[in-house]
Structure 1
Amino acid sequence: MKKFLITSALVAVIGLSMPVFAHEGEDHAAAPGTEETAQVTSTVELSETAINNLGIKTVKATIAPRATTIDVNGIVEFLPERQAIASARAAGRVSEINVKVGEEVAKGQRLLTIQPIFVGSSPVSIPSPLDGYVTKQNVVLGQSVTPEAGLMEIGDSSEVLVRGVMYETPDVTKVQVGQNVSVNSSLIGNEPLEGKVQRMDGAYDRGSRTLNVYALVENPDRKLLANMQVVLSIEVTEPADILTVPVKAILGESGEQFIFVRSGNAFERRSVKLGAKFGAEREVLEGVFPDEEVVTVGNYQLQFAKSAEPKKDASAAETKKEDDGHDHEH
């Protein structure tokens, strides 16, 4: 009897320690850590309100003739023949100032008046040496001046030089006089200004180890101002038909870059394989088709956007509410 009791106790202990297996048809809660994870979607659908709030803008991926470019930092400068300094022909005092900095002037227009120091001398008008704008004023009323002093500076920026700064790399050997260039800056809008390489320095700067490249650029609307910093894109190959998208449409890091493609209110995130850079455009080798709308503004925010909740059918919701209010016997 004693042996029987000991054996029964051992069987009970073993039974408690063994795992319990679920049989087919039984429902059991998932073990911690084994829950099914949510699948990350590559497309997000937004309401019109959300699209407007994000300020989303798109452009079409296009096939157009493109040339490989080298981008360098540039500084806008006046052409030497389109910049002048107004000075006095004799010593005297400034008695009148007729124009202001930033004002447009014509060649021969009076800039200021000098009263010579010689007794009995008539006032002398100082004319503008060329058509342009007053870029600097170096004197005030009553100031004494001498013939060698620069009184005002006038510049004509309808055509400018953009001085590109190149470092000592193999890219320098690809640049030649006469190549087409485009000038880009966030301050001049999306349309770059066009020009050509006019000349290059004959030697590197001894201290900075840089070489200056000068491009002649048409600037009829004066979008480019002297001393403005810009990006100078120099075309170093012949144009070929290439599919491109704006650089600002591309997100991610090298090797994991992507864009958002819009179709109606849906925005699909697509990985892309990129090629050469053409100024503000980038070649797309894989991931986008011609004429597809790619997002250029608001694309960063789209990474964190969630799809809009679908609208519930009012009649179905009302029916469910009525059913929930009834008591049923089972």
Structure 2
Amino acid sequence: MLLRRMLIMLGVVILVVLALAAYKGFSIYQQIQMFTAPQPAISISAAKAESTPWQSRLPAIGTLKAFQGVDLTVEVGGTVRDVLFESGQKVSLKQPLIQMDSDVEQASLATAEAELSLARVEFERGRSLVNRQSISKSEFDRLASSLQKANASVAQLQAMLAKKRIVAPFAGTIGIRQVDVGDFLSSGTIIATLQDLSKLYVDFYVPEQAVPQLAIGQRVRINVAAYSGDVFEGEISALNPKVDDATRNVQVRAMLENPDNKLLPGMFANLQIILPGDAPQIVVPETAITYTLYGNSVYVIGEKKGEDGQLQKDDKGAPYLVVERRFVDTGERRDGKVVVSKGLKAGEQVVTAGQLKLDNGAHVSIAADPATPVEADNQASAGQ
């Protein structure tokens, strides 16, 4: 009886072990099937590398300056009697701006003119007397010297009187006035700023290596933050004949028209110098480039071939696409495009989105661009 119970228990244990072993084996089989099954294609976006004419440009940054600009100051001290302009007004050449009190100078000028008149009369009388030898030559020389001194005194007072009236040295736009009627101004006091905005200069620096590429008259494209969507064009007007020994850069000046007075002196400018030549270059979207510390690379899409050299097909009958990671040399970047100088040929397809999911040899499928159907529909509607 005891032996029978032991045999039954042993049989039950064996059955349980066999069941567990079968379950484990089936689970391992499922895992093997899962790992050995072909992986689904990774969806990516792609674009073709194009050979297109590429106008080389040299980037730089600079500062806008007025064609003529000055902070108006007074040369002689005095009290402001009249302010003859409004802040922000456009003024013409020699237009009066400030009239300072000049009563003292006018009185002194009247005295000097009276002395000049007397000196002139005495000089003319002495000339007639010296011809008749009624006075000595030295006395006549003294009279001539007195006349010259009187003339100089009048000229000096007239110049000082003119400095009491501040006029515009050139036509332009005057800034916010800094003085009022009744203010006493000492020499050097700033009245306002005057800027000629009809033309502007933009001063910028380029590395000394770029000097051979620059020439007077070369076109320059300019962008400013205030008008981010606008492009202003000018041309190089001057090259500094000296390289800065501290930075090894050369100062360059370009000139541009400013007919609407949109641009103002002091604005920060981004520039692109248009370099000569329009050679074709291999260009890809900038999103296709993967930038790393050890080099820039792209994923090039190709069709997989079997051992017999025949192109393989996927389960839908389409070519079996794989990617190859290829290191490239890149050049200029502009408007979402980048020049590839080495490592890529025109017509090759590159991945533009989804690179983080890829590895060398990964199976991919090119996703349809969402904008393509819409664009096609628009073209069809326009054709109808």
- Common fold, TM-score beyond 0.5? yes
Query: Does the 8 Å CA contact 2:81/2:101 hold for their aligned counterparts?
Result: yes
How far residue 226 of structure 1 moved from its aligned partner, in angstroms, is 0.7
| Alpha-carbon distance in 1 for matches of 2:167, 2:274 | 42
Which residue among 222, 228, 247 is the counterpart of 2:261? 222
Percentage of identical aligned residues:
18
Question: Which of the two has higher C-alpha Rg?
Answer: 2
- CA 1:209/1:84 → structure 2, altered by over 3 Å: closer, same or farther? same
Contact 1:71 1:279 in 2 (8 A): no
Write out per-residue CA displacement over residues 1-48 of structure 1, whole angstroms, 9 at most, x where no aligned residue. 45633541342232232143779xxxx9xx9999x99987558xxxxx
Instruction: State the distance in 2 between where 1:151 and 1:9 align.
Output: 111
**C-alpha offsets along residues 212-252 of structure 1, whole Å, 9 cap, x if unaligned?**
1111112222222111111111122224578989x9x9698
Question: What is the identity, as a one-letter code, of the residue corresponding to 2:250?
Answer: L
Q: CA deviation at 1:132?
A: 1.1
SS of the aligned residue for 2:93 comes to coil
Q: Which residue of 2 aligns with 1:103?
A: 89
Per the normalisation by structure 2, the TM-score is 0.50
Task: Report whether the alignment pairs 1:210 with 2:196.
Answer: no
Decide whether the 8 Å contact of 2:61 with 2:268 is kept in 1: yes
**Alignment match, 2:16:** 13
For 2:77, the equivalent position in structure 1 comes to 91
Name the structure 2 match of 1:182: 221
Give the aligned residue type for 1:12. L
Structure 1 position 109, deviation (Å): 2.8
Separation in 2 of the partners of 1:221 and 1:251?
41
CA distance in 1, matches of 2:21, 2:77: 112
Cα shift readout 1:86-114 (whole Å, capped 9, x = no counterpart): 44465321233333443322223332221
CA distance in 2, matches of 1:222, 1:186: 15
Cα distance between partner residues in 2 of 1:204 and 1:110: 42
What residue is the counterpart of 2:201 in the other structure? 161
Q: Return the alpha-carbon distance in structure 2 between the equivalents of residues 237 and 282 of structure 1.
A: 20
Equivalent residue number for residue 316 of structure 1? none
Q: 2:267, 2:289 → 1: CA distance?
A: 30
Does the C-alpha gap of structure 1 residues 250 and 13 become closer, same or farther in structure 2, counting only changes over 3 Å?
closer
Question: Which amino acid in structure 2 is aligned with residue 15 of structure 1?
Answer: L
Equivalent residue of 2:241, what SS? coil
Q: 1:67 aligns with which of 41, 50, 55?
A: 55
What CA distance in whole angstroms lies between the structure 2 residues aligned with 1:33 and 1:99?
A: 86
Q: Which runs of 5+ in 1 are unaligned?
A: 44-62, 259-272, 290-306, 308-330
Asked whether the 8 Å contact 1:66–1:278 carries over to 2, the reply is no
Change in CA separation of 1:39 and 1:64 when aligned onto 2, cut-off 3 Å: closer
**AA in 2 matched with 1:11:** I
Shift of 1:138: 4.8
Structure ranking higher in helix proportion: 2
Where 2:229 maps in the other structure, the secondary structure is coil
Instruction: Please provide the CA RMSD for this pair.
Output: 4.8
1:127 to 159, 167, 184: 167
